Amino acid sequence: MQRITTDINLAINSLKIGKLVAIPTETVYGLAGDALNEKALEQIFTLKKRPKHNPLILHISSYEKLQEITKNIPFKAKKLAKKFWPGPLTLVLEKKNEISNTVSAGKSTIAVRVPNHPLTLKLLNSIDFPIAAPSANPSGFISPTSATHVSNFFKDGLDVILNGGLCSKGLESTIIGFDDDNPILYRHGAIPISDLEDCIGTIRKKIKNDLNPNSPGMFSRHYSPRTPLILINNLSKYVYENKHKKIGVLSFEKNEVFTLATKHEILSINGDIDEAAKNFYSALHSLDSKNLDIIITTLLPEKGLGKTINDRLKRAVAN
């Protein structure tokens, strides 16, 4: 019997005996298991139908815990962690030997972060092991930003969903790796790259790799609804020319009225990019649940979190 609950003790007890639980973070909900328990790690890959060469993200309670699972931490990584943790920043660092190769997909590095959600921080401070927690959705599909999204994805196989409300950021963490001390962006996320560059200088980009990804979030096709999604420039024209279809429209702001569309989701009535980011996955979930023929949208302004949303849209429509 699946339980959606705010009782962290239920989640802690399940994790301690090797079961999986869904946890809230500020970014998206995670599918969590004991990162030191090989059976729990295998369950994560199995339940998500996640390719084994796609690494997982480890979640820890504080910067101080980083020394227990990683080594040879670059100066710029320490600087970023101290400024942005707890928060939606994941660092890819050299792992200690006790961390399973299952977590790292056979690599010598692991992705790790400190989430900024009170329930999950309390949970992490109550256990003596790190947790592995990729997004709590089947691999490749829309990320969940509410407990209901998780429940809809996993009717079976998940006993406890820790309900922390709607995710405050609504987009996955930004992922930064290092070549020596030189930072590399592996995934656009909830912290704009410009904010990170203000802290440590120029960051080069390497955001796609299907065969041997350095971190999660690098697959070309990802974050996709089951309903076909297309990017077009003139939404109104498409709706009018295809009014015989059941069309869902995802728009950034309320600058047009799509009376012929079956369903219209507005990310931010006032055109606020942070609000749009928070609402992005929820809007996609809503459209995807309406049995539409197609979802249409257009790219956002390519600045700040607009870059992250555009990255997700391009991956969602990729063949």
List pLDDT tens digits, range 187-196. 999 999 999 9
Tell me the average pLDDT across 292-303: 96
pLDDT at 257: 82
Per residue in 161-181, pLDDT (tens digit) is 999 999 999 999 999 999 989
- Could you give the percent of the chain with pLDDT greater than 90? 93
Per residue in 208-218, pLDDT (tens digit) is 999 999 999 99
Residue 254 has pLDDT above 80, yes or no: yes
User: Rounded to whole angstroms, how far apart are CA atoms 186 and 267?
Assistant: 26
User: Rounded to whole angstroms, how far apart are CA atoms 81 and 139?
Assistant: 28
Which of left, alpha, beta for 193 (phi over 0: left; psi -120 to 50: alpha)? alpha
Residue 1's pLDDT band, with cuts at 50, 70 and 90, is low
Residue 25 has pLDDT above 90, yes or no: yes
pLDDT at 309: 97
- Please, which residues have CB within 8 angstroms of residue 29's CB and are 6 or more apart in sequence? 22, 23, 135, 136, 143, 144, 145, 146, 147, 149, 150, 161, 167
pLDDT at 156: 78
User: Rounded to whole angstroms, how far apart are CA atoms 199 and 307?
Assistant: 19
pLDDT at 319: 64
pLDDT at 318: 76
Per residue in 88-98, pLDDT (tens digit) is 999 999 999 99
Residue 256 has pLDDT above 90, yes or no: no
Beta strands in 46-203 (DSSP E): 57-59, 89-94, 109-113, 131-132, 160-162, 174-179, 182-187
Per residue in 198-208, pLDDT (tens digit) is 999 999 999 99
Residue 243 has pLDDT above 70, yes or no: yes
Residue 248 has pLDDT above 90, yes or no: yes
Residue 159 has pLDDT above 90, yes or no: no
Q: In what order do the strands lie in the sheet with 21-23?
A: 3-5, 160-162, 21-23, 30-34, 131-132, 57-59, 109-113, 89-94, 174-179, 182-187, 204-205
Tell me the average pLDDT across 257-285: 95
Per residue in 98-109, pLDDT (tens digit) is 999 999 999 999
- Could you give the percent of the chain with pLDDT greater than 70? 99
Per residue in 40-55, pLDDT (tens digit) is 999 999 999 999 999 9
